[in-house]
Structure 1
């Protein structure tokens, strides 16, 4: 029976251990890792604690999940670990001898970055301000990726804004209508009785309403003028229609009259500011606190003579009937516009919070109603 000495090479080979922190293989005589000074006991002991401690993980640059150092890809989003070796392949390592430019592999876009020459320079983390002297890419303290390296990676294209998406949608519809040589018809708000009333079968209205396109609408005043969305809008341009008060949407027309004092605000509501031969118009409204772009066609309710039945504007302007139709669409039908408050119309058109201040006491005051203070009202 032979006894192997403690200092023999065979014993040293059998007792080598791998550091869990930096994966360096250390000799059996070392009680701490020769590279990172990690504990041998922690590396050789079976640890069932799933919580990764500081220095035992790397943070994914995409989803920020903390992964074990031994994991090559993120467990959540499968993003590859960005370490020193990966940085060298991409051409992002800093402080190494100069190398030729090479395109990035494995990506649809190619990037070439010149690697700086000279000795390795320490860098300060912009998150925790720790000065790193070992790691080139990831901070040794907070495990965050180096900012100047992270900015080189290609990012996802920014989302299209709502206005850009609306403009793209509008252009697509116009091109399709030109190709088919036809005018646009809004399927979501069709020229049918369901767009006029909640329950068309229960309506006992003696008025005959027909849907007509803009080119077929009869106009007695200024009939020689071409149709236009704007002609320097003024509050006096707004009219309730041939039968006054038939719809009962004075609250909306009052809000439009206020907006007409500022042409720039009216233009902000109308996304489509020029006459469209294909009959495609977009209106920007605020519904329940969220801005939405409403798409409408140029079908409008008319009487049996072909005149506009509801609201209209003088000098053959379209901004009043178009906005009225868009508001009717977001609320379901034209009947939904019956009765309302001017502050509701202002909030829909501007998106701003509105407040109503009474200037005189009501004809039937409530028991808890406070007496009006005229001086306080005008001070506000």
Structure 2
């Protein structure tokens, strides 16, 4: 794949209008960024050469319905399990996604209806809050408490934001695209997360849009991907048996694509997978679950979070996580990212060649930015290590020595 190419473009061309072709062409020659929209850029643009922009972490949330989130701030949950509030806003975290259910999105949160939705066109930045969940609430009111709207729904992004909100540098970012019922198996009749499919290409556009729309203020670097998916594949035996190769291909491809696009400085960016629940409704779940576990055991910087403990916290249809489960899921994702960050520090210098001139961002507490000077080339190489804080880097490369940046 050449830099800037999106998987799934061939399928998209069938439905693109001449105006869309023009927009794509204008981006290719770097013309009319504003008129075409950041979400449709074909790469994550480098920071302006004359700007010393701060580097900030960008987390990606994707998957099917339990990544979408059918939990609401009005769920019938009480006591210690009533953890989400409608008025809760996490001002130190911004989410790039679709808030509520605007026209064109409402009612289309489904693998088949989704096929004609240009999701990335609707994504915008908002302060972290409830409302980035299920878009089909109005069409399914009988499944929700009285008075619920799409603006009350949320997924794991809300508690991920909660966990990040009070962590330095008090400026964090999340990009989200999730669609209900979507499989990892390629299906021409429905949207899916296959790297050769349309929805996968939309996810890359969302990430690029998040990055490029902030290019004048911060340099966003993808530091983690949370993928909650697998239930739909567990409904068909052949899809479930193919999940082992499909999930491996997905993780390898999205890492490769984000790195090639310039959206991450880590070619093996951490991936956290929400394991499909041990629910009898997922008939062939054993194949999916074992594939998820195996990937975490054999692949670098992949972690699985266990959702079996949510069996008493299910809402719509007996398969979707309620308020407590969703809030717990986001916390678990954060903790898994922190665990992967610690493991990465322990393996410092093994298998990762950070790019010159780009600062990396901390995932967990105690991860310090680490600066090394190349005496010959005079280039800045930045990575992460668990060294104790010793002294402040003064911004001048004087030798091949290293210093912690704080």
Whether the TM-score (by the shorter chain) exceeds 0.5 is: no
Larger relative contact order (C-alpha < 8 A, sep ≥ 6)?
Answer: 2
Please report the TM-score for the alignment, with normalisation by the length of structure 2: 0.21
* Bigger Rg, which one: 1
Query: Whose strand fraction is larger, Structure 1's or Structure 2's?
Result: 2
Please report the TM-score for the alignment, with normalisation by the length of structure 1: 0.22
